[in-house]
Structure formats: structure tokens, C-alpha cells
Structure 1
Amino acid sequence: MWKIILSIVTPVVIFFIIKKKQETPKDKIPTFEEDEIIKKNETYITINGLQHRVVYVSHMMKNNVPTILFIHGLGGQISQWTSLIKQFSSTANVLAMEQTGHGKSEPSSDYSCYTTERFVNDLNQLLTYYPNDNFVIVGHSYGCCLATLLAIKEQNPKIKTIILISPVFGIPKYQQYLKKLIRIVPNDIISMTRKKDREGDIHSKSVERFIHPTASDDLRYKQFCWNSQFTIPSFKRTLYGMRFPTLKEYNSINIPILLIGGKDDHIAPISNITKIKQVILNSQLLIEPYIIPNSGHQTIIEKPQLVAAFIKEFVINKVGLTDMDAKVQILKTADMDKWSLKNYDKWKKKVSVSDVMAPSKFRGMKVMRQTDDEHCPKVFSEKYPNVGMVIDLTKDTPPYDSEDLKSRNIIYHKLATVSKVPPPLKIVRSFIDISKDFWEKNPEKEIAVHCHYGTNRTGFLIASYLIEIYKLPIQEAIDIFAEYRPKGIKHIHFVDELYLRYSEYEKQ
């Protein structure tokens, strides 16, 4: 076998050495500006003698909420987690580190610094820098191997669950031969191979294999940058030192585990998830994996809202880390006096009534006040004569006279919901039925919907209607509401709930 490999490789090596082709100069390597949440929260710490770039976003409730550790894969960087860092930083502490030779972390010429065991040890030491009683470990691609081994090898009782996204399961035999060979392959050869692979830039094979064909040019460019920024020496050393959990190691997992994959992932196909699920026999909790449609290997950047929603639902409702529940946090810290001076000022600054939210005939608005000169039933009915129904989502008696609306030929419908909590399915059904019934009888009329400020509950129900009745994609429905009500749905857990409920609709 080795004679065959050498007979093929040797002439190729000689050819490329003669060509003297060099890798793209460093100053020509493409870059993009990282998000503010990364730049403002980055630091560098020394682990095992090397500088590592770390991002840590501390939650206002400190160690009263869990810490989520994000682990990237081969050639990955912290910036790949940007969307999820932003999503989770509102309800948890968030931690991420770039492995040796990755991103802006210090490289080493020592191959031993790139072994899987060394990476796991680095991560374990990282956890001691940022102590917490409850860690949630989230890995992507090769990072899933590191997450798995971190959980089982270190036997850290504070690691409560692991989330494996696009996991890799073992290495085919032919790749094992290449892995052994990689150490002696000249950098020039790898450089030329990479250049060929990147022909076409954001539409090159190097990008296409990672993301779904429908991905935006912005995501494509970022993937092109990540691929280009991973140096050949670090690639060779990481690949050479890489290993994957054994069947015995998978069997030793005894904490809850969640598996997530992209339906169109060609690097770590969903068959990997099936294999891993079959060999995990001792986990306390292993639910049916989530397979995300219209997504490739980079699910974490292509469908971050859906990934976040799945993780939060699992961690909060299945694992039981309820301190990470945004509803619990908000209710603990919220000022429940809706008409305090501070909240009245906030209400006053809100736009009273939106334009009609095409393609529907909804208007989103803040609650009226009977004594307000600008937003009371009398003024409202005069300004918006085409509104035929008002749906009130507040829990208590409204601060206006609903009979005043009725006297002006506006139907008033009370649909009580709880502040800070996404409306339950029963309320959604009622909202949709009430609206449909009204428009069947009054097709030209408009419906005005309000909670207190006209953002979260109002946005949630209007978005639900747009998704169910108009068959709009989840994000498009959310964006339409945000277009008409500045800043849109404020609470992340409302957005998460929309993705959880309607992900099936996106598959159709």
C-alpha cells in the first residue's frame, strides 16, 4: 500500500517543488470586520504556555445562570459563533476560545500542541478560568469530538449536558492513510491544492462544501475568509493530531446529549448522527435528533435562530436548567407597575399605531389610554376609520373604555395573555380564528392588535398569523413586523418560540 501511495505522490511532489508556487501573501488574505460583541468581549489568556483568544460575555445574573461553552471545529474561529453568542448572552454567560493555531490564538511548531488530548486539556483549563456550577458544552464538527471527550475524560460534574452540531463520526480508512501522510507532504503542494479549490472565490468548491446552495453572498464571503485564514502549518498539525471518540468512549457518556445536523451536510452527513445515536447507550437523556432543512455543514451560521431555539428548549425543559429561561429571569427582575413614571415615559415614546402590515390588514399598536390626548378611543377611531376590530392582548382591564370603541362601530375582543410569556397555542388558535372570521365578513376592514407596548405579544401573534395563513418563512414574518413596529419583537425567547413552533412549516 505504501509503495503505491509513494509512487503516486513522489512525481507530484517533484513537480510542485520545481514550480515553486507559494501560498497567497498574508496581506492578501481576505478578512471581514467582526461583530461588536466579539470585539468588546475578547481577551487573551495563557494556557499550557500559549496565548489563546477568548470571548467571555458575562450575564448580569453572573453565576446564577449557566455558562455556555462554544467549541469550534477544524479551521474554525470564534466569529463562527457570533449569532449564537448574541442569542445566548441574553440568558446565560457565554464562553468561547480559539484553539492553538486557529483564528488569533498563538500557533506552535510543536505537533504535540495540536493533539485532540491537548485541545481537550486546554478547554478543561479554560473552565477553571471562568468557574460556574452549570456548564453547557456546545461543539460543532470536530468540536463535537472535543466536547464529547471533555465531558467524559475530565469527569467534571459541573458539565450538565453536551450539544453536538454537525458531528463527525470516525475517519474512513483512505483518510487515515492521508492523515499519516500529511506530515511529510510539502506545504507547496497543499498550497496549490488550496488555490485550485478556491477558484471562484465565494462560489468555489472550498465554500460550496461547507454551506447550502441558498446561502447568502455575505455568509459565503465569511466562509471564504475562514478557509483562507487557516494556515497550512496549523492545518497539517491539527489534522495529524486529530482523533475521534471510540465506541467505548461514546458508551461512557452519562449526561444528557442533543444532536443537531443540517439535512444537506456533505462534510458530516446526517448518517453520522444516526451512528452516534446508536452507540450512545448510557446517556441520562437522548432525544430524537433535530435535522434542519435547507442547511449544510455550517448550520450555526445558516440557521442560528433555529439552532438556538432547539438548544434552549432542550436545556431548559429537558435538562432542567430553568435559570436560563428568559421568562423566569424577566419575571424575577421586571418592574410590574406598567404605569410607573419610567414605564409611562417608555409607553409615551412608542409609535402609537403602525401602518397596515402587508400582506395582511393588521395594524400593531400600543395600548390606548382613555385620558391621553393623542392615543385614546376617540382620537384613534378618527385617525383610523378603516379599523373594524381591536384585539386586546393585555391581561387586565385596559386603561380605556372598550364601550367607547363599540359606540364607534369598532368590535372589541379581549384575548388575555401574560406579559413576558409567549402566547400559548390555544391563544394563537383563537387569534387566528377571530381574525379570519372577521375578514370573511369584512374583507376591506383592518384589525388593530395591542398588548402594552405593542411589541412582543402583538408581534408574536401577528407573525404566527403570517406564517400559518400566508405561509411565510419564519424570519420573513418576524422581519415584516419589525419593519412596521420599530425594533420588532424585543424578547429573544419569543423569537425562539416562533422557531420551535413553526420549524415544521419551513420544511413544507
Structure 2
Amino acid sequence: MAHSQQVSDADATDPGLLKDNSEVKSYTTKRFTYPGVRVFFRARAKINELPRDPAPLPLLVFVHGLGGSVAQFHPLLTSLSNHASCLAVDLPGCGRSAFAPEDWEAYSTDALTDLLEVVIDDYRDKDHDQGIILIAHSMGTVLAARLANKRARHVTNIASYVMGVVGICPVAQSLPKEKVAQFRNLLRIPTWLFNLWRMWDQWGGPESASVKRFVGPDADLVSKQLQHRFNRQSRSPVFRRVAWGSLPTYVGEKPVGGLFGEPTWAGLDVPVLLIGGGSDLVTSPKEVEKIAAILHSNRESLVTNGSSSSGTIAESAAPIAATAKPSDHLPESIDAITDDDFKRREFVKNAEESMEEPTTPRDASETPAGIPPQPRHPKKVVKTVIMPNATHALLYAPKTHRTVSGLISDFMSEHITGRLDFAWQLQHLNREGKWEMKNLAKWKAIQPVSKSINGIFRAMKTLREGDEDHSPQKFAADWGHIVKDIIDISKDNPAYSPNSLPELGIKYHKFATVSKIPPTDAEVTTFVHLVDQVRQDQQERAHKEGWKEYAVGVHCHYGFNRTGYFIVCYLVDRCGLDVQQAIEMFAEARPNGIRHSHFLDRLYRRYSGLDV
């Protein structure tokens, strides 16, 4: 496929969220100018209304892998952009970025990490010491590890501001010497022959071998079609250059340059989450175990040596650089590791020392009441998850991307900063009363009662005393022949008199929960048992009173998020539906269903059986 056609396809299929928040910019690094880099940036809504002391919320930076693009992160960005400002870059020649320059060295690992540093530095709020969290996929995980690694060569002081790394389908180490030689031979074949091989590999479109390799042979049609599109958008000349630049050169038996010019993962001293796919045919899930072993080994060595992480980094910088001696057989990027590199390392080291703060979170008493502390340097922790039956496409496959998003958001709020908890953010920003004019108009516009949900539930908005359309009296007249019990899950006292309901033939049950926050497992268990009791009582009453139809009404304020969460859990736990079926059933009965993305993420994570 011609390059222009591939670019046109990437432009035409770009999701609205990405298209509306992207621009194409020119960036110049020390050695190259990249004239057409597509950059996605979306500031978190109301970011300036959230705490900025000691720093704003971290910037989430997304790094794609070989042949990938920003579009592959679209499902995660849809959710995580609600938590924090997000930045993602189409590397040169990928996605919507221009294939320019065409110099092979411009696509080496060193050159691409330099470019990423410059772009991040352009968007990071440097005036307020904003930190960053790197979220990467496949080969991009090694680029992210290099950005976070204080031992690596850098053109900015970015490593000092990395607060965490999330690696999805991560790559642990360089290819063996023999494999590197084989891969180089493959990449040396003429472009026309390489394209011919790709055409053969993609024969069959969504059912081709190239698609099944990424999404698995039993994937749903949507995943296959999406992967087929991504495969077609990957340009052969770009793939060859990036792949070539990622390969190390072996000095004896030691790999130098490429993705692993220094012990990339070993140098990390920040929270790290590694997510692998149990059925990944591209990157083995065993890579997760290898990286975890490297990180744990490094932590143990620091304790054994009695050295701080910054001290160990400074002491080991010289030996690492010394292994990269100039040679006629090494690429220019490796030759460049000379005295200049030591100066850069010293600059970064001095910057780190001048900004050094305690690595443990500050006591909550040091922050205003109700605001979680935000440490500059979160404590190092390594968490791993292998998702059964998940493939290399787990970050955008419909069956897995919600679970991935939930794992990431929970990890960030638990191990990096509690200020990334979306529920806490919503509560902090919610300054309007529930019945102020704006919210009253919103409440009035919402459908009072949903359609039947699996013959058990009716989702409702709260009743309101004296309202002409949805007071207890009006509700009983319209719905009392169906809804025989109401479970009120709102936190506050209701805006109606519950005492009037029994007189109208409706039983009232109060089960208070907090708004904006997904219910806890304990709350779900209690709710399920409560509904069991209510349904048993209804069956007995129906037999005595001859009811033909009866249902359990559930409401919070509007009847979407908390209400939907509890009902979905009951449908899964008691009715045998899977979580996606339950979510879709609720949304069909109560359009547009559960609206808060962090509620959906938590549901998928709850029923994934995974934890971090």
C-alpha cells in the first residue's frame, strides 16, 4: 500500500477524541529535525481546580511499540484522560506522523528517545515541577524504561520527574546474538521483497496470519478488523528502520546499543506495573517474570550494598558508558557515548541531587484536610499481572481494555498518588448542591424509571417531595403496581419522606453509599444479600396478594452509576450473566447506562479475577 494511502487511512479512521486533541508539529533534537510529528494532548478537565501543591497531577505519557500508533491507546485514553492530563506521540512514520526524515539513524532507539524527551519537555508543566507517568506497550515499554532510567543517556532531566512506569506486554531483554544476526539479514532484503512478504502475511484480511498473531485465532470480529487496520497502517520502510535501530551490536557476548545499550530495566527506582497477556504470541508473558526478577534483584542489591538509589546510579554510570567504546562496527548512536555523555549524566545527577526529597509519602497532616499527599518520589514497588487468554492486543481489544484501564488506574492511585483516584477528584470538584438550579434541571430531564432489568430491577432517579412528576404519591400512582420495594443507596437523607411509602404499598430500604466512588466489595456483598431478602419477601407477598408483576426499585440521585454498579453486580453474582452482558443489559434498560468510566473499569477488574 502506498504511503499516502496509509496516512489517509490513519487520518480517516482516527477516533474523535484523538482527532479533536491532536496537532502536527515539527521538533528538532540535537541531531535530527522531524517535521510532522502527531502529538495528542488533552488536559484533564478542571485541572486548575485540583490541588497543585507540591505539584500538579502527573502527566500521563503513552508510548507505542514497533509498528504501533497512538490510536492503539484510544480505549485507555478515553478512560484515563478523566484522571489526568494525557500526552501521546505517533513516532515518525507511524500513525498520522510524517515519514520524515528518512535517514536510518533518525529511527535508532537513541534518536527516538531523544525525540520523546523533547516532546514531553514541551508539554510537561515545568514551571510547577509536574511529574510524569509512562504507560507503554510492547517495544515502547523499553523506550519508557530508558526514559525513566537515570543511568541512561538523556538530553533533558526528564528521569528526575518520572513517578512511575506501566509496561503492557513488556519486552525484557535483547535478542540473542544469533537471532540479531538473523533479523538483520531479514531487514536487509529489498523493500519490494519485504512488502511482498507482508502481503502474503496479510492475505485474508481480518482472518490473516498477521492479524491472528496479534489478537489470537478465536478473537471477536471487531478485534480482528481493528488489528487488520493497524497492520495496514504500519509502513514497511518505517518498520524496517525502527526494527534495525532497536537491535544491539554485540561486543563479544555483551549487547550494546539498540534497546539495551544499558541495563534498561535494572536502573528503575519508581513504582512499576507490568501487565502481560497469557495468550500473547508476539511477546511472551514470561517477559513479565524476567523484568520483575531484574527489578527485585536490583532492589535487593541496593539494600545489600547499603547505598541509596541515586548513589548507586551515579557510581555505576561510568562503567556502563565505558562498555560503549567507538568501533567501526557500531552505529553512530553508540559512538556518541563519549565524554559528552558523561557530562549529560553529571548534569542529570546534579539536577537530581538539587531536587532530592524524601522518597516516602508525606504524612496526611501536611496536606489540607481530605487531600491525599503527593510525594515527588513515590516508593518503589513492583506489581505484575498476567491476564489469562489475553493477547498482544489487550490494550485495545474490547474484551480486555476495560480491565487494563482499571488495573492501571488502581495502581496509580494506590502506589503513586491518591490524587489520581477519579472518585476523589469528583468529590473534590463537586461543590454544587444536588438541588441547585442547574442540577435540578438536569434531574428533571432524566427518565424517572427504567425498563425492566432481567425481570428483577427498575433503576430510578430519587423521588422528590412535592414534585409534580416524581413525588412519592405520583410514583405510587404510576408505578406502585410494579415496584413493590425501593432500595435507596444515596448517602444523604432523601429529598422525600420515606414514611409515606408504606402507606402507598411500597416498602423502603435505606442502604447508604458514597457518591462518585465505586462501591466496595463489602458493600456489593451486603447489597446482594439485601436484594435476596427483598426478592424472597416479594415472592411471599405476591403469592398472598396475587401480584402478576413485581420489581425492586433502586436509586441513588440520578440512577445511573452507583445504581448501575450494584445492579450489574447482582446480575453477575446471582443471575449468571458475564460482566459485559450485565452492563449492556443495564444500558439497554437505562440509556446511556453507567456513565462514569472509572465505575466501568472497576467492574471489569472486579470480575477479571486479577489484582495488583
TM-score, normalising length: structure 2: 0.75
| Map of 1:254 onto structure 2 | 269
Matching residue of 1:184: 188
- Determine which of 110, 134, 157 is the counterpart of 2:103: 110
2:463 counterpart of 1:463: no
> How many Å separate the matches in 2 of 1:453 and 1:39?
31
Residues 1:501 and 2:606 aligned together: yes
Structure 1 counterpart of 2:465: 370
Decide which of 13, 26, 29 is 1:46's aligned counterpart: 26
The superposition leaves residues 271-310 of structure 1 with CA deviations (integer Å, 9 ceiling, x where unpaired) of: 1111111111346533441122332101110122111111
Q: Deviations over 1:201-234 (max 9, x none)?
A: 1010010001133433233222112212222211
Q: 1:165 aligns with which of 163, 168, 187?
A: 168
- In the alignment, the residues of structure 2 paired with residue 285 and residue 214 of structure 1 have an alpha-carbon distance, to the nearest angstrom, of 38
The residue type paired with residue 582 of structure 2 is A
- 2:557 counterpart SS class: coil
Structure 2 counterpart of 1:386: 482
The answer to which of 280-289 and 99-108 deviates more is 280-289
**d(CA) in 1 for partners of 2:119, 2:552:** 53
- Alpha-carbon distance in 2 for matches of 1:25, 1:50: 17
Counterpart pick for 2:450 among 354, 373, 382: 354
Is the 2:387–2:610 contact (alpha carbons within 8 Å) kept by the matching residues of 1? no
Matched, 1:473 2:569: no
SS in 2 for 1:457: helix
Work out the CA distance in 1 between the residues paired with 2:20 and 2:4. Answer: 25
Q: CA deviation at 1:351?
A: 0.4
- Residue in structure 2 matching 1:403, options 499, 507, 527: 499
| Alignment partners' CA distance in 2, 1:273 and 1:335 | 43
DSSP 3-state at the match of 1:449:
strand
**Could you tell me how far apart the structure 2 residues matched to 1:468 and 1:97 are?**
41
Q: Is the deviation greater in 70-79 or in 371-380?
A: 371-380
CA distance in 2, matches of 1:453, 1:199: 50
Rounded to whole Å, the distance in 1 between the matches of 2:70 and 2:525 is: 41
What is the match of residue 294 of structure 2?
Answer: 279
Q: Distance in 2 between matches of 1:215 and 1:310?
A: 22
SS at 2:504 equivalent: coil
Q: Structure 1 CA distance, aligned partners of 2:438 and 2:234? A: 50
The 1-side partners of 2:535 and 2:177 are apart by 63
Contact 1:55–1:97 (CA<8 Å) still a contact in 2? yes
Q: Are 2:415 and 1:318 aligned? A: yes
Checking the alignment, whether the CA contact within 8 Å between 1:148 and 1:245 is kept in structure 2 is no
Contact 2:488–2:510, Cα closer than 8 Å, also in 1: yes
SS across alignment from 2:39:
strand
Q: What SS class does the counterpart of residue 339 from structure 1 fall into?
A: coil
1:218 pairs with 222, 230, 250, which one? 222
Amino acid at match of 1:421: I
Matched position secondary structure for 1:301? coil
Mean Cα deviation higher: 169-178 or 53-62: 169-178
* Residue 61 (structure 1) aligns with: 47
Query: Is the 1:467–1:477 contact (alpha carbons within 8 Å) kept by the matching residues of 2?
Result: yes
For residues 388 and 575 of structure 2, what CA distance do their matches in structure 1 show? 20
CA contact (8 A) 1:182 1:236 kept: no
Match of 2:325 in 1: none
Contact 2:292/2:382, CA 8 A, preserved across alignment? no
Shift of 1:109: 2.3
Give the alignment partner of residue 88 of structure 2, picking from 92, 96, 99: 96
Q: Who is 1:418 aligned against?
A: 514
Instruction: Measure the CA separation in 1 of the matches of 2:220 and 2:187.
Output: 36
Whether the 8 Å CA contact 1:423–1:460 is kept in 2: the answer is: yes
User: Deviation per CA, 1:307-366, whole angstroms, max 9, x where unpaired?
Assistant: 1111111111112x22222122212221341111111111111100111112x4100001
Contact 1:391/1:414 (8 A) holds in 2: yes
In the TM superposition, what is the alpha-carbon distance from 1:97 to its structure 2 partner?
0.5
Query: How big is the shift at 1:44?
Result: 1.7
Q: Distance in 2 between matches of 1:25 and 1:114?
A: 17
Q: Which residue identity lines up with residue 63 of structure 2 in the other structure?
A: I
- 2:278/2:391 contact within 8 Å kept: yes
1:200 partnered with 2:204: yes
Structure-2 separation of matches of 1:446 and 1:366: 15
Structure 2 residue matching 1:289: 3-state secondary structure: strand
- Aligned residue for 1:280, secondary structure, equals helix
Aligned-pair CA distance for 1:427? 2.1
- Pair 90,237 (structure 1): closer, same or farther in 2 beyond 3 Å: same
- The alignment status of 1:86 with 2:78, answered yes or no, reads yes
Structure 1 CA distance for aligned equivalents of residues 137 and 109 of structure 2: 15
Of stretches 197-206 and 152-161 in structure 1, the one that deviates more from structure 2 is: 152-161
Match of 1:35 among 7, 12, 15: 15
Letter in 2 for 1:136: I
Q: TM-score, normalised by structure 1?
A: 0.90
- Once residues 25 and 79 of structure 1 are traced to their aligned partners in structure 2, the CA distance between those partners, rounded to angstroms, is 18
Moved more, 49-58 or 399-408: 399-408
**Is the contact made by 1:41 and 1:56 (CA closer than 8 Å) also made in structure 2?**
yes
| Structure 1 counterpart SS, 2:396 | helix
Tell me the amino acid that sits aligned with residue 380 of structure 2. Answer: L
Contact 2:295 2:382 in 1 (8 A): no
Query: 1:143: which partner in 2?
Result: 140
**Residues 404 and 310 of structure 1: is their aligned pair in 2 closer, same or farther, counting only changes over 3 Å?**
same
Aligned-residue sequence identity (percent) comes to 30
The equivalent residue for 1:10 is: none
Could you say if the C-alpha distance between residues 399 and 25 of structure 1 is closer, same or farther in structure 2, counting changes exceeding 3 Å?
closer
- Tell me which amino acid in the other structure corresponds to 1:291: I
User: Structure 1: 5+ residue runs without aligned partners?
Assistant: 1-22
What RMSD over aligned residues (CA atoms) do the two structures have, in Å?
2.1
Q: What one-letter code is carried by the residue in structure 1 that aligns with 2:295? A: I
Q: Is the 8 A contact 2:272 2:383 kept in 1?
A: no
- 2-side partners of 1:355 and 1:25: how far apart? 50
Q: Which runs of 5+ in 2 are unaligned?
A: 247-257, 300-378, 540-548
- Asked if 2 retains the 8 angstrom alpha-carbon contact of 1:327 and 1:420, the reply is yes
How far apart are the structure 1 equivalents of 2:27 and 2:183?
27
Are positions 1:309 and 2:309 aligned together? no
Q: How far 1:403 sits from its partner (Å)? A: 2.0
Q: Secondary structure at the match of 2:474?
A: helix
Asked if 1 retains the 8 angstrom alpha-carbon contact of 2:385 and 2:610, the reply is: no
